[in-house]
Amino acid sequence: MVKRVAIILAAGISSRMKTLVPKVLHEVCGRPMLAYVLDACRDAGVDRIYVIIGHGGEQVQQRFSGADDIVWVEQAEQLGTAHAVLCCKEQLADFDGQTLVLCGDGPLIRAKALQSLIEKYESGDYAAVLATAVLDEPAGYGRIIRDSNGNIEAIVEHNDCTGQQLKIKEVNPSYYLFDNKVLFEALAEVKCDNAKGEYYITDTVEIILSKGLKAAAVVAVEPEEAMGANDRRQLSIIGRIMQQRIQERLMAEGVTIVDPANTWIDSRAEIGADTIIEPFSYIQGKVKIGKACRIGPFAYLIDGTILKDGAVVDPSEILRQAENVKSCTEAER
C-alpha cells in the first residue's frame, strides 16, 4: 500500500543557465541534478515519485527511463509552483497519504532533512510541515513569517516582502510535506495576485491555517543544502560541495585521498579500503577500484574501469598504455 509519494518540480526553463539542456539534467559530479533528489526521496521511504516535466521533458524521461517508481506528468505551461503541483490532481485524486513536494534543481538535498519533516508530521495532527534553513545572506528566498509564539503564519516570497520582512534570515528552501487531500483543496484556492503573477505553492500554508488546520516549520536544512543551481556559477559551487561530500565519505570508509583539492571522483565510483588516491587523479563514471590499490598521480580512469585488489595505476602504467596504443597504430599502418 502506498503511504508516501513525492512530487518533484522539474519543468522550469533556466534562462540564466543560457542552455538548451533541461535544467535538471545539468550534471553535478557525474550525475544529473534530478538524480540526487530522486535518491533522497527513495532513502526517505517514498513509494512513488511524480516528476513534473515541461521544457525538454522527453530528454528527462529518456535519461531516467529505467526507473519504475517514477510517474511523468507534463506541465504544458509554466504558471508557478502551485500550478505545477496541480498538474498531478488527476493522478492523486484518490490518494490518502503523505505528499512531499520538492524542487528538482536542488541536488544538495539529503534524506535526513526529509526524515525530519516526516517525524514532525507524524508527531502531531499536522496538515502541512515544511523544512526551513537559516541563511546569513537570504536574498532571493521566501521568508518564514512566525507569530509571537514561534508558530508559522505564512511564507512570503522575496519579491513580495516588506523592508522589515527582508531582514528575516529564516527562509524556505522548498521542502514540503502535506496531507495529500488537504494540499489539493488548498491549491484550488491559490490566487496569482503577487509581484510575478504566478500561482505559488507557498500560499497554501496560509490557506491551510485559515481553515483551522495545523502547520509547522522546522529548521532542518543546512545552509548549503538550501542552494539550488540557478546559473553556471551556482552549479560550480554545488559541484565543489558535492565533491567534498564524496571524498569525505570515501575517506570515512578507509580510502586515502592525498590531496582532495586536486582530485576529482565521480559520485558513482566505488573504492575499496586502504586504496590511496594520489594528486591530480580523475575518476569518471561507474569505476570500481578494489582494496589496497594505488591510483596516480595523474591517473585518469574512465567509466566502466574495474581494478582488482592491489592494482597500481601510476604515470609509468599510463605511459605504457600510451606506448601500446602508439605501437598498435604503427602496426596498422
pLDDT tens-digit series, residues 223-259: 999 998 989 999 999 999 999 999 999 999 999 999 9
pLDDT digits (tens, 9 = 90+) for 15-67: 888 888 999 999 999 999 999 999 999 999 999 999 999 989 999 999 999 89
| pLDDT, mean of residues 293-313 | 95
**Mean pLDDT over residues 171-187, rounded?**
97
With CA atoms as reference, report the closest residue to 238 among 72, 103, 59.
Answer: 103
Query: CA 84 from chain center: how many Å?
Result: 18
Is there a catalytic annotation at residue 143?
Answer: no
Q: What is the pLDDT of residues 115-169, one digit of tens each?
A: 999 999 999 899 999 999 999 999 999 999 999 999 999 999 999 999 999 999 9
Paired residues of 47 in beta bridges: none
pLDDT for the residue 177:
98
Give pLDDT, residue 325: 45
Residues in the chain: 333
Q: How confident is the model at residue 333 (pLDDT cuts 50, 70, 90)?
A: very low
* Cα distances (Å, whole numbers) of residue 194 to 73, 143, 187, 201: 26, 15, 16, 12
- Match 560541495 to its residue by C-alpha cell: 241
Pairing assessment for the beta strands 270-271 and 98-103 based on DSSP bridges: unpaired
The Cα–Cα gap between 143 and 130 comes to 12
Residue of 16, 233, 249, 320 marked catalytic: 16
Find the DSSP H helices in the chain: 33-43, 57-63, 81-86, 111-123, 180-187, 203-210, 232-252, 315-332
| Percent of the chain with pLDDT strictly greater than 70 | 94
Residue 318 has pLDDT above 60, yes or no: no
Q: How many whole angstroms from its chain centre is CA 55?
A: 18
The torsion defined by the Cα of 214, 11, 34 and 104, in degrees rounded to 10, comes to -30
Give the mean model confidence (pLDDT) for residues 93-106. Answer: 96
Q: Which domains does the chain have, with CATH numbers?
A: 4-226 (3.90.550.10), 253-332 (2.160.10.10)
Neighbours of 167 (CB within 10 A): 10
